[in-house]
Amino acid sequence: MALPPFEPPEEEFPFHRNGFYEPPFQPCYVLFFNTTNRHIKLFWFDNKETKYHTSLAPGHHVKTNTFTHHPWIFCDRDSNELMSVHNLPRYWPIPYKMRNPNNPARMVPCRKEIRIQYPLRTLRESCLCRIVNTLNPLHPIAAVNIIDERMSLPHILKKELKRRLRRPLGTEPINEEWEDSIVVKYNIPRNQ
C-alpha cells in the first residue's frame, strides 16, 4: 500500500485560533462509521509507519481516541481500494468541542462522527472495481484465467485487474468443467 508522502492541510490543522496558540498534538475523539456495503480496514500513521487499527463491517461503527498528528486511511478488505472521508483519501483528526450544558462558558471535548464513504471515481475506475468485486469470490487461478482468456480487454487493463486482485495464486488444479460453471454463474462473456 504505497502512498505518496503526506502533509497536513493548513486549513485542517490550525495552530492559532482567536489569537491563542493551540498545541499541535491534541487528543481527538471520533466515531468512524462505515456507510459503504463493504468490509473496511482502518489504518493510522505514526511517524510515517502504517499501523492497522480494526475492521468495520458494512453499517457498523467504532469509537476511537486519536491525535491530530495521526492521519487515517480506510481500505476495502477485498480490493484494497482506498475509501474517503469528505472526498479525501486521508482523514486528519480535528478536535471537536461543545459547550458544557452545566457551565455554558466552558468548552468540553466531544466525539465526532466520521463517515467513511466510497471515493469519487471515474467511469474506468468504477468498471475496474466492479470486475474485481465480481472476480474476488473465485479461486485466484480461475480469476486470472478468466482475465487472460475470456476478457477482450487491452493488456494494460488486464494487468491492472490482476494487480487489483492482490491475492496469492493457489496451487490446486482447476478443471475446465468447474471453470465453465463459474463463467455461466457470473455471466462472463467467452472469447471466440
pLDDT of residue 64: 93
Lookup result for grid cell 471515493: 119
The DSSP secondary structure of 30-60, one letter per residue, reads EEEEE-SSS-EEEEEEETTEEEEEEEE-TT-
Rounded Cα distance between 94 and 68, Å, is: 6
Q: Are residues 52 and 134 in the same domain?
A: no
Write out pLDDT tens, residues 78-98: 777 889 999 888 899 989 888
Same domain, 24 and 110: yes
- Strands 27-34 and 40-46 come out as unpaired
Boundary of a domain, candidates 89, 116, 143? 116
| Residue 131 main-chain phi, psi, to 5 deg | -65, -45
Q: Is the dihedral of CA 135, 140, 142, 148 positive or negative?
A: positive
The one-character DSSP state at 84 is B
Taking the C-alpha atoms of residue 124 and residue 109, their distance in angstroms, rounded to an integer, is 42
Q: Quick one: 24 and 49 in the same domain?
A: yes
The yes-or-no verdict on residue 40 having pLDDT over 60 is: yes
Please give the grid coordinates belonging to residue 141. 487461478
Query: What is the structure's pLDDT at 183?
Result: 52
Tens digit of each residue's pLDDT (9 = 90 or more) over 134-189: 888 888 888 888 999 889 999 999 988 888 876 544 434 444 555 555 555 555 55
Inside any domain, residue 83: yes
The CATH number for 65's domain is: 2.60.40.780
Counting the structural domains of the chain, the total is 2
For residue 69, is it within any domain?
yes
Taking a C-beta distance cutoff of 8 angstroms, is the pair 75, 40 a contact?
Answer: yes
Q: Does residue 179 share a domain with residue 103?
A: no
C-alpha grid cell for residue 128?
Answer: 475496474
60 belongs to a structural domain: yes
Q: Give the residue numbers spanning the domain of 49.
A: 18-116
Domain presence at residue 53 = yes
By the 8 A CB rule, do 167 and 135 touch? no
Same domain assignment for residues 90 and 158? no
Say if pTM beats, i.e. exceeds, 0.85.
no
Task: Pick the last residue of a domain from 61, 90, 116.
Answer: 116
Residue listed under C-alpha cell 480506510: 74
Could you give the CA distance from residue 20 to residue 9 in angstroms, rounded to a whole number?
A: 20
Note whether residue 41 is domain-resident: yes
If you average pLDDT over each of 6-10, 114-118, 179-183, which comes out highest? Answer: 114-118
Tell me how far apart the alpha carbons of residues 21 and 70 are, in angstroms, rounded to a whole number.
20
pLDDT tens digit string along 13-35?
A: 444 444 444 556 789 999 999 99
pLDDT score of 6: 46
Of 65, 85, 116, the domain-final residue: 116
Contact 107, 97 (CB under 8 A): yes
Whether residue 56 is found in the same domain as residue 100: yes
31 with 86, same domain: the answer is: yes
Residue 190 resides in a domain: no
Q: From the CB of residue 158, how many other CB atoms can be counted at a distance below 10 Å?
A: 15
pLDDT at 137: 83
Q: Which amino acid is at 63?
A: K
